[in-house]
Amino acid sequence: MDLLVVPPFTDFTTEVVAPPGAELLDLGARIVRRLSDPSRLRDAPALFGRAAAAILERQAYDDAHLRAIGTALRLAGDPALRLSIDDLELAEGSTQSSQDVLGAAARCELFQPEIELALEAAEGRRARVVVDAEQQLPAAFALVRALGAERVTLCGRLVAEQVTALRRVPKLAGVEWLDWSPERVIRSPWHAEPVRWLTGTDLPPADGPWAGWLDAVRVAAFSREALARCRGLTITVTRIDFLAAVTGLNGVTVNLRRLLAEIPAGAPVACELAVGAPGVAAGVAGESLELLADGPGGVRLAGLRAYRMGIHTVWAGHNVRFPPRAGDDLARWIDFDAPETMRGYEVSAMIRNSLDRLPGLPPGRLAACSVAAPAASGCAWDPCAQVVAGAGPDGRGTFAVSLRSGRSFRLQQGFVAPVARLAADDPHALDGLTDGARELLTAGLARAGVLRGRG
């Protein structure tokens, strides 16, 4: 029986569909379960870790659950890697350099238990290692070193895109290469039915439901029949003037009205704004953000990220492209310049300010976020908040902690019981407080972001 190994780290709300007769070893799912184990987080001194543990124990599989997992990943210290809910950064260097990735693979302690599990499971068999995303490269390189290059076949989307560059990496000599990428589906319980998950250049399946996170230009070309099977869609745009004039990742402008009319009414549709594309000035990007924040045609704002130009991207407008930096032998993104383009500090400032101002955005670029229905807003307390007792420097404080805002508020002793009732959705939780005390408390809770819609 073939062994199919999925290295950490990729979208943990999806899973690979193994071909018949293959044994699947999903190391990504395993490490997320291990790092987000409530018992592990509960025993840690970190205030936010204890809040995450309490939220994970609810087993609600909602926005709060995702943020709790993201908190667990961020708190996972490692000398080589820094994790977030949907990304990975090397402590030194970039995943665009094979030398930097090899260095991280050698120093990383975080995924060592998973590497040992793969070594035990292989039992001398050849292992197919699926690399779909750059975030998986450190673990994939560590697997090659542990299993032996002669016993590894590398496959997956990223391998297909970069096989020429990867073949030149000396430490991968002896590896076999396979031009094959397994399908991904949204993992239960993040969706009730099996749904094919699409990203990048994926096309809808010939039949059956699908959902995706896709560029506006690509998805605008999907057929009516395919769109009718959509169960959730997040569209990446670089500019939007109105729904009939939306610019994609290659600078081409498309009309989304037909698409929106043909997607089933119950399927959530959102747009992610990629900020800093060639020729898109700060004022234009700001107008696009405000339009999306208003929810035109029922389309929600899925978040913001910095625009990155793919090395093979052909932008429709004028721009100057710069060659990859020395040592970036695995380059996927390139630097560029164009008139009226936002500078890096402007992009960072817009994203940071918008995240503070728009607390209801999804927690990350995850499949579960694309198919999630809008959250109900019937109570004042944010589900992403938690009351944590026995914390602080003296170990005796009680805090209201928000995993959404990343802030906390230490409660005076007289506020602990009312806030606990507020967190339990008691509409009369604050009735016993004086007007001054209620004003003081709600102001502190609002600053911490633990009240719904106040982040």
Out of 155, 177, 199, a domain closes at 177
Q: Are residues 229 and 361 both part of a single domain?
A: yes
The answer as to whether 287 is a domain residue is: yes
Q: Are residues 46 and 171 both part of a single domain?
A: yes
DSSP class per residue in 83-105: E-SS-EEESSS-TT-HHHHHHHH
Q: Could you give the C-alpha distances from 403 to 49, 72, 315, in angstroms and in order?
A: 10, 11, 38
The answer as to whether 44 is a domain residue is: yes
The answer as to whether 437 is a domain residue is: yes
Q: Which residues contact 379 (CB under 8 A, 6 or more apart)?
A: 425, 427, 452
Q: Are residues 193 and 166 both part of a single domain?
A: no
> CA end-to-end span of the chain, whole Å?
51
Give the integer Cα–Cα distance in Å for 109 and 79: 7
The answer as to whether 403 is a domain residue is: yes
Q: Are residues 214 and 363 both part of a single domain?
A: yes
Q: Are residues 205 and 152 both part of a single domain?
A: no
Per-residue pLDDT at 320:
86
Q: Are residues 204 and 113 both part of a single domain?
A: no
Q: Are residues 347 and 397 both part of a single domain?
A: no
Q: Could you give the C-alpha distances from 5 to 35, 121, 276, 296, 378, in angstroms and in order?
A: 19, 10, 36, 42, 43
Residue 90 bridge partners (DSSP) = 81
Give the integer Cα–Cα distance in Å for 88 and 102: 15
Chain-centroid distance, C-alpha 267 = 20
Give the pLDDT confidence of 50-107 residue by residue, as tens digits.
999 999 999 989 999 999 999 999 999 899 999 999 999 999 999 999 999 999 999 9
Domain count, the chain: 3
Q: Are residues 146 and 217 both part of a single domain?
A: no
Per-residue pLDDT at 337:
92
Give the integer Cα–Cα distance in Å for 230 and 268: 9
> Could you list the residue range(s) of the whole structural domain that residue 313 is in?
184-371
Out of 177, 198, 232, a domain closes at 177
The answer as to whether 379 is a domain residue is: no
Q: Are residues 70 and 145 both part of a single domain?
A: yes
Q: Are residues 160 and 219 both part of a single domain?
A: no
Per-residue pLDDT at 117:
97
pTM: 0.93
Per-residue pLDDT at 379:
63
Q: Are residues 228 and 193 both part of a single domain?
A: yes
Prior bond of 189 cis (ω within 30°): yes
Q: Are residues 168 and 238 both part of a single domain?
A: no
Q: What's the angle, vertex CA 66, arms to CA 332 and CA 443, rounded to 5?
A: 115
The answer as to whether 434 is a domain residue is: yes
Per-residue pLDDT of the chain (455 residues; tens, 9 = 90+): 689 999 999 999 999 999 998 999 999 999 999 999 999 998 877 899 999 999 999 998 999 999 999 999 999 989 999 999 999 999 999 999 999 999 999 999 999 999 999 999 998 899 999 999 999 999 999 999 999 999 999 999 999 999 999 999 999 999 999 999 999 999 999 998 889 999 999 999 999 999 999 999 999 999 999 999 999 999 999 999 988 999 999 999 999 999 999 999 999 999 999 999 999 999 999 999 999 999 988 999 999 999 999 998 889 878 888 999 989 999 999 999 999 999 999 999 999 998 878 878 999 999 999 999 876 655 688 999 999 998 877 778 899 999 999 999 999 999 999 999 999 888 888 888 899 999 999 899 999 989 876 55
**DSSP secondary structure code for residue 25 in this structure:** E
Kindly provide the residue ranges of all beta strands, DSSP E only, lying in 68-192, ordered along the sequence.
81-83, 88-90, 127-130, 152-155, 176-177, 184-186
Instruction: Return the structure tokens found at 87.
Output: 């990304």
